[in-house]
């Protein structure tokens, strides 16, 4: 597709900066293939393809099968608009790793102003996204942008969590979701100390954040997230 990201071939010039780079998380299984096909047939092929050449690009992100069990780490690969990450497993349990490695890859490979993180079952209104970025006259605001549907009171799921240990309204919500799915959302005390959470009536909640189905990150914001994560990982390794 003419809007999928491909390596820039002119080594004598700086690659053009993309206003909106859309990174779409997917998987290499049949469900992922069907979803990518559906997106390419719908919103990716919509009339906003007529926007300027540097207005937007998209790429899909998948993990590598059994990457956590391999002693040899190959290079990331790009083929047909799909980036296969070498350091992220192609499974739902390692979703957060794919998000972080997607940021790492995008920051290293593509000069962009704003990255839109989306899922392969999401719809992105490209024209609105590009218009929002271009309407922001303050460059620092664009660089530090973090926008999406904000969640302000999400219960922190710990490794030993059970429905009985949740507030009643929270337990009612999670009882309606397959257990295997929300167990993947658990976070350790080491990764998220209680001091970093919001406490209310003896229960702990996340700081406000944007839902993962789709959000926008300015270039500087993406760098800050990755830098903070890498520093935290290095600290945990020293303690182990």
Q: How many CB atoms lie within 10 A of CB 163?
A: 13
- What is the per-residue pLDDT for 74? 55
Average predicted confidence (pLDDT) for the chain: 85
List of long-range contacts for 74-83, beta carbons under 8 Å, 24+ apart: 76/105, 78/5, 78/6, 78/7, 80/4, 81/1, 81/4, 81/5, 81/6, 82/26, 82/36, 83/59
CA dihedral 167, 172, 176, 181 (to 10 degrees): 0
The pTM score is 0.83
CA distance 94 to 88: 7
Q: Max CA-CA distance within the chain?
A: 62
Band of the pLDDT at 89, cuts 50, 70, 90?
confident
Band of the pLDDT at 237, cuts 50, 70, 90?
low
What mean pLDDT is predicted for residues 24-42? 93
Q: How many CB atoms lie within 10 A of CB 69?
A: 7
Counting Cα atoms < 13 Å in the Cβ hemisphere of 202 gives 3
Structure-token match 């600290």, residue found: 235
């Amino acid at each position: 597709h003419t809007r999928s990201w491909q390596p820039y071939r002119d080594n004598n010039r700086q690659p053009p900066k993309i206003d909106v780079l859309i990174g779409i998380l997917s998987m290499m299984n049949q469900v992922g293939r069907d979803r990518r096909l559906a997106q390419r047939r719908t919103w990716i092929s919509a009339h906003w393809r007529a926007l300027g050449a540097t207005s937007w690009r998209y790429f899909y992100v998948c993990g590598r099968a059994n990457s956590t069990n391999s002693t040899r780490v190959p290079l990331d690969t790009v083929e047909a608009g799909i980036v296969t990450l070498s350091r992220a497993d192609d499974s739902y349990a390692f979703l957060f790793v794919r998000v972080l490695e997607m940021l790492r890859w995008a920051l290293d490979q593509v000069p962009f102003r704003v990255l839109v993180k989306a899922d392969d079952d999401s719809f992105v209104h490209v024209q609105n996204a590009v218009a929002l970025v271009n309407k922001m006259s303050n460059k620092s605001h664009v660089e530090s942008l973090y926008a999406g549907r904000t969640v302000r009171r999400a219960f922190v799921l710990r490794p030993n969590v059970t429905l009985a240990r949740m507030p009643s309204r929270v337990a009612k919500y999670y009882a309606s979701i397959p257990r295997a799915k929300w167990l993947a959302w658990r976070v350790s005390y080491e990764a998220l100390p209680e001091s970093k959470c919001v406490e209310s009536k003896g229960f702990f909640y996340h700081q406000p954040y944007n839902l993962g189905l789709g959000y926008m990150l300015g270039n500087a914001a993406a760098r800050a997230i990755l830098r903070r994560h890498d520093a935290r990982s290095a600290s945990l390794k020293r303690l182990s």
